[in-house]
């Protein structure tokens, strides 16, 4: 008797559970049904709703501005609804990878320098068929279009231009009684300034971060002595240039003018919350130009941007490169609308004004002109800088070192070996050259 | 002798207090950063702000477009409450049957269940996502809630350990008085395992409250965002981040966990002590 009652009780709880689950489940098919219905209607071209999803990462300013642009697009294109899926960068790619694996990725995807990885995964839509007709990129610097072109197919459109450069703390220059650097300065000026700042501002203050480990700084130095980091499968520099490079930094290190190795490891310049330039303790660091917004926000000191110093062969500046791309998922159901939105984002003056420099300086020259007329002081620093580089940077077609991550690590390791006195410059450079050649051989073999 | 003991106890307390303050330093730093002007957060060294401002709090709460931070709190709370109910109910039932009922292959099932603890979450992530996507549950709370109703191996184990410590004589006398399995579970064992249940509840609450990745993967619509996702909205590693708002909202997000912990603290320590598990 009792047993029966128990079983009845179990059954009851089980039923309750099932009810709870199925209740939730029954809500969902409705939604799914509605969604597929909507897409069904859109393909019949009778002007009903087209639903798109767009994902990007960023902070609240970017979210707000992007949402405003989406609203504007929706107003101008009735029947189109774009849902934003936005977050910070933490986990953004993990989520995207999961969605791609499940065939559920958003129609519009913001990507950074890793765009190639997704092209290789066949996850991105080839935008070439829409170029010229719906999507206009003829106003862009050719290099920017090339950066998202693989096997003659365009997979993404640049949202913002940036360039690795020197960011300086102008207030520290002022305190040391020095004029801020201009585009004509040389490596001798750089050394003199750095040493003076460290001397005049006293203990705990340095003229510059140790940039010997920075690949972009090295690239521009090599350019300024008439060499090149890389072109067409070969390195275009020799041991002597590397020795000169590391010796210059070693000399500054011994003079106490640049950040010592242990401090640099603890407060790397790349992290805005750790950078000593923000704290007013170091005057110069290398940074991506568009980062100046984030840095300036955290300090009352005046920050500025300048080009890398000139050498005997003039400026070695690297022309502006693309920071972020907007791409489309290969499985999107509305490729034309996607292309139309991409075009709207980069070419529509109204959208351009709303977006401003949230993703770097806009790639289209006509949008830049509109923006320059109404910029804030920080904007102006950035725009002036981008125009300056566009003018001073030699017209080279810059080629990225293959296996870039490994090369960056190698350079960092070599620099740290010297900075921590673990190895002499001579033998460190020997090792560096051998390893670099190994990397090049490895890249060729791929 | 008495004086000697007093001195010793003084030093002991001073040491413990000092160490405690040291551990609390990050929390104080967070509190102080949340009321500092933005330009001072990373530049001033002291904890004491030059001027106190509450603008980060209003900025964080009201500053996001189309949504208030309160919505994230509500979502997190709903998720946590359902998760706690689900976990406690299902895990305690499973634990009761493993601890008190004899059925065929019981040990094998118990071992299998423990085996699932060893399985890294990353392995099941994509299959699980695909499954929930096929059912059409992505971008709802269901993928985060439903699994809680089928038990959690760790809590089953915790409660089993606790139930094993309850004298069997109680069961026998209850049976003699005419008690069935369900009554035994509900009337006798559950009230006695309260500390273990509360431990499971607190762990689940905190785990769900702080979970970032699961919520990130399954939730896309900002209206369904939870507190951890909401906090990340202010952060952009590649550009500008609204640090003040992050810190202010972080301070608020600690509050529910603290309240729950202090409410259940008495049972919590008891639950851990008597099951021989370390938190």
Condensed to tens digits (0 to 9), the pLDDT of residues A158-203 reads 888 778 889 999 999 999 999 999 888 999 999 999 999 999 998 8
**Which chain B positions have a beta carbon within 8 Å of A291's beta carbon?**
238-239
Decide if A102 and B126 are in contact by the 8 Å CB cutoff: yes
Please state which CATH class domain A164-318+401-445 belongs to: alpha beta
For residue B244, pLDDT over 80 is answered with yes
Determine the residue of chain A that is closest to B245 in CA distance: A60
3-state secondary structure chain B: CHHHHHHHHHHHHHHHHHHHHHHHHHHHHHHHHHCCCHHHCCCCCCCCCCCCCCHHHHHHHHCCCCCCHHHHHHHHHHHHHHHHHHHHHHHHHHHHHHHHCCCCCHHHHHHHHHHHHHCCHHHHHHHHHHHHHHHCCCCCCHHHHHHHHHCCHHHHHHHHHHHHCCCHHHHHHHHHCCCCHHHHHHHHHHHHCHHHHHHHHHHHHHHHHHCCHHHHHHCCCHHHCCHHHHHHCCCCCCCCCCHHHHHHHHHHHHHHHHHHHHHHHHHHHHHHHHHCCCC
Q: What is the pLDDT of residues B55-77, one digit of tens each?
A: 889 888 887 777 889 999 999 99
**Which chain A positions have a beta carbon within 8 Å of B136's beta carbon?**
28-29, 31-32
Q: What pLDDT does residue B86 have? A: 96
Least confident among A28-42, A217-231, B9-23, B202-216: A28-42
Reading the block at residue A46, the tokens are 């009778």
Q: When comparing pLDDT for A135 and A16, which is higher?
A: A135
Mean pLDDT computed over every residue of chain A: 82
Mean pLDDT computed over every residue of chain B: 87
How far is the C-alpha of B269 from the C-alpha of B68, rounded, in Å?
A: 36
The stretch A308-312 carries a mean pLDDT of 91
Q: Are A230 and A401 in contact (CB under 8 A)?
A: yes
Q: What is the pLDDT of residues A346-369, one digit of tens each?
A: 999 899 888 887 787 888 878 877
For residue A14, pLDDT over 60 is answered with no
Q: When comparing pLDDT for A358 and B88, which is higher?
A: B88
**b/e map B231-240, b = 16+ CB within 10 Å:** bbbbbbbbbb
Burial class (CB in 10 A: 0-12, 13-18, 19+), B55: middle
**Which chain A positions have a beta carbon within 8 Å of B126's beta carbon?**
98, 101-102
The stretch A248-265 carries a mean pLDDT of 92
Q: What is the pLDDT of residues A284-308, one digit of tens each?
A: 999 888 788 888 888 889 999 998 9
Q: Would the pTM count as exceeding 0.90?
A: no
The stretch A229-244 carries a mean pLDDT of 89
Q: What pLDDT does residue B158 have? A: 92
pLDDT band at residue A10 under the 50/70/90 scheme = low
Nearest CB to A89 within list B180, B238, B242 = B238
Q: CB under 8 Å to B153, separation ≥6 — which residues?
A: B113, B114, B116, B117
The stretch A122-150 carries a mean pLDDT of 85
Instruction: Calculate what percentage of chain A has a pLDDT beyond 70.
Output: 86
Q: What is the pLDDT of residues B217-231, one digit of tens each?
A: 999 888 899 999 988
pLDDT band at residue B272 under the 50/70/90 scheme = low
Q: What pLDDT does residue A391 have? A: 67
Least confident among A51-65, A200-214, A425-439, B12-26: A51-65
How far is the C-alpha of A156 from the C-alpha of A145, rounded, in Å?
A: 8
Enumerate the domain spans of chain A.
50-159+322-380, 164-318+401-445
Q: When comparing pLDDT for A96 and A163, which is higher?
A: A96
Q: When comparing pLDDT for A232 and B131, which is higher?
A: B131
Decide if B130 and A101 are in contact by the 8 Å CB cutoff: yes
Q: When comparing pLDDT for A395 and A381, which is higher?
A: A381
Determine the residue of chain A that is closest to B177 in CA distance: A2
How far is the C-alpha of A67 from the C-alpha of A65, rounded, in Å?
A: 5
How far is the C-alpha of A335 from the C-alpha of A338, rounded, in Å?
A: 5
Determine the residue of chain B that is closest to A95 in CA distance: B217
Q: Are A88 and A57 in contact (CB under 8 A)?
A: yes
β-partners of residue B175 are: none
For residue A52, pLDDT over 90 is answered with yes
Please state which CATH class domain B66-275 belongs to: mainly alpha
Q: What pLDDT does residue B245 have? A: 87
How far is the C-alpha of A420 from the C-alpha of A212, rounded, in Å?
A: 13
For residue A32, pLDDT over 70 is answered with no
CA nearest A380: which of A285, A314, A304? A304
Nearest CB to B240 within list A5, A59, A84 = A59
Q: When comparing pLDDT for A136 and A42, which is higher?
A: A136
- Preferred mutation among A87, A267, A277 to probe B, highest tally of B CBs within 10 A: A87
Count of Cβ atoms closer than 10 Å to residue A332 Cβ: 19
Radius of gyration (C-alpha) of chain B in whole angstroms: 24
3-state secondary structure chain A: CHHHHHHHHHHHHHHHHHHHHHHHHHHHHHHHHHHHHHHHHHHCCCCCCEEEEEEEECCHHHHHHHHHHHHHHHHHCCCEEEEEEEECCCCHHHHHHHHHHCCCCCCEEEECCCHHHHHHCCCECCCHHHECCCECCCCCCHHHHHHCEECCEECEEEEEEECEEEEEEHHHHHHCCCCCCCCCCEHHHHHHHHHHHHHHHCCCCECECCHHHCHHHHHHHHHHCCCEEEECCEEECCHHHHHHHHHHHHHHHHCCCECCHHHHHHCCCCCCCCCCCCCCCECEEEEEHHHHHHHHHCCCCCEEEECCCEECCECCCCCCEEEEEEEEECCCCCHHHHHHHHHHHHHCHHHHHHHCCECEECCCHHHHHHHHCCCCHHHHHHHHHHHHHHHHCCCCCCCCCCCHHHHHHHHHHHHHHHHCCCCCHHHHHHHHHHHHHHHHHHHHHC
Q: When comparing pLDDT for A367 and B24, which is higher?
A: B24
Q: What pLDDT does residue B109 have? A: 93
Rounded to a whole number of angstroms, the distance from the CA of B206 to the nearest CA of chain A is: 20
Instruction: Calculate what percentage of chain A has a pLDDT beyond 90.
Output: 41
The stretch A241-257 carries a mean pLDDT of 93
How far is the C-alpha of B214 from the C-alpha of B228, rounded, in Å?
A: 11
- Preferred mutation among A85, A88, A269, A325 to probe B, highest tally of B CBs within 10 A: A88
Enumerate the domain spans of chain B.
1-53, 66-275
The superfamily CATH assigns to domain A50-159+322-380 is: Periplasmic binding protein-like II (3.40.190.10)
Q: What pLDDT does residue A61 have? A: 80
């Amino acid at each position: 008797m009792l047993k029966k009652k128990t079983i009845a009780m179990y059954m009851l709880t089980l039923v309750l559970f099932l009810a709870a689950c199925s209740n939730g489940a029954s809500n969902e098919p409705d939604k799914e049904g509605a969604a597929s219905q909507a897409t069904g209607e859109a393909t019949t071209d009778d002007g009903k709703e087209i639903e798109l999803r767009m994902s990007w990462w960023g902070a609240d300013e970017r979210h707000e501005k992007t949402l405003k642009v989406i609203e504007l697009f929706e107003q101008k294109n009735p029947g189109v609804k774009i849902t934003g899926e936005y977050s910070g960068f933490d986990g953004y790619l993990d989520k995207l990878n999961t969605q791609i694996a499940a065939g559920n990725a958003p129609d519009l995807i913001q990507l950074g320098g890793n765009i190639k990885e997704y092209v290789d995964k066949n996850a991105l839509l080839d935008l070439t068929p829409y170029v010229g007709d719906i999507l206009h990129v003829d106003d862009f610097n050719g290099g920017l279009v090339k950066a998202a072109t693989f096997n003659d197919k365009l997979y993404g459109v640049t949202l913002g231009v940036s360039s690795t450069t020197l960011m300086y703390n102008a207030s520290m220059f002022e305190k040391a009684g020095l004029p801020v650097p201009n585009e004509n300065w040389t490596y001798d000026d750089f050394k003199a300034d750095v040493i003076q700042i460290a001397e005049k501002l006293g203990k705990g203050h340095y003229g510059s971060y140790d940039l010997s480990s920075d690949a972009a700084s090295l690239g521009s130095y090599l350019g300024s002595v008439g060499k090149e980091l890389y072109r067409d499968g070969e390195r275009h520099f020799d041991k002597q240039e590397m020795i000169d490079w590391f010796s210059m930094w070693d000399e500054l290190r011994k003079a106490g003018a640049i950040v010592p190795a242990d401090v640099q490891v603890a407060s790397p310049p790349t992290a805005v919350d750790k950078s000593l330039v923000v704290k007013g303790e170091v005057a110069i660091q290398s940074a991506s130009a568009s980062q100046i917004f984030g840095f300036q926000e955290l300090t009352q000191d005046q920050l500025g941007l300048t080009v890398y110093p000139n050498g005997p062969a003039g400026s070695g500046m690297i022309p502006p490169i693309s920071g972020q791309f907007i791409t489309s998922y290969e499985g999107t159901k509305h490729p034309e609308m996607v292309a139309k939105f991409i075009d709207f984002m980069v070419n529509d003056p109204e959208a351009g004004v709303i977006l401003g420099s949230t993703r770097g300086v806009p790639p289209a020259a006509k949008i830049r002109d509109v923006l320059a007329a109404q910029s804030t002081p920080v904007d102006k620093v950035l725009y002036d800088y981008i125009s300056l580089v566009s003018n001073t940077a030699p017209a080279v077609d810059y080629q990225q070192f293959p296996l870039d991550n490994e090369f960056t690590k190698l350079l960092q390791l070599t620099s740290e070996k010297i900075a921590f006195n673990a190895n002499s410059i001579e033998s460190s450079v020997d090792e560096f050259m051998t390893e670099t050649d190994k990397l090049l051989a490895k890249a060729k073999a791929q | 002798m008495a004086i000697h003991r007093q001195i010793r106890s003084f030093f002991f307390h001073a040491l413990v207090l000092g160490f405690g303050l040291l551990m609390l330093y990050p929390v104080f730093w967070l509190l102080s950063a949340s009321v500092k002007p933005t330009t001072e957060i990373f530049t001033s060294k002291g904890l004491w702000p030059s001027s106190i401002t509450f603008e980060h709090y209003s900025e964080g709460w009201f500053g996001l477009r189309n949504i208030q931070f309160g919505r994230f709190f509500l979502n997190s709370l709903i998720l946590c409450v359902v998760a706690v109910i689900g976990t406690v109910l299902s895990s305690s039932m499973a634990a009761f049957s493993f601890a008190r009922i004899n059925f065929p292959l019981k040990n094998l099932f118990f071992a299998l269940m423990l085996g699932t603890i060893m399985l890294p979450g990353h392995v099941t992530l994509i299959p699980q996502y695909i499954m929930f996507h096929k059912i059409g549950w992505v971008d709802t709370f269901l993928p985060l809630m439903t699994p809680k109703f089928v038990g959690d191996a760790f809590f089953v184990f915790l409660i089993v350990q606790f139930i094993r410590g309850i004298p069997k004589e109680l069961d026998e006398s209850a049976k003699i008085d005419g008690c069935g399995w369900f009554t035994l579970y509900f009337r006798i064992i559950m009230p006695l395992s309260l500390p273990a249940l509360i431990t499971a509840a607190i762990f689940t609450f905190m785990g769900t409250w702080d979970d970032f990745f699961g919520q990130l993967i399954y939730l896309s619509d900002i209206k369904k965002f939870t507190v951890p996702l909401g906090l990340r909205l202010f952060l952009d590693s590649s550009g500008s981040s609204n640090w003040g708002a992050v810190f202010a909202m972080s301070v608020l997000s600690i509050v529910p966990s603290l309240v729950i912990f202090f409410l259940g603290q008495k049972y919590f320590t008891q639950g851990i002590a008597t099951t021989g598990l370390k938190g």
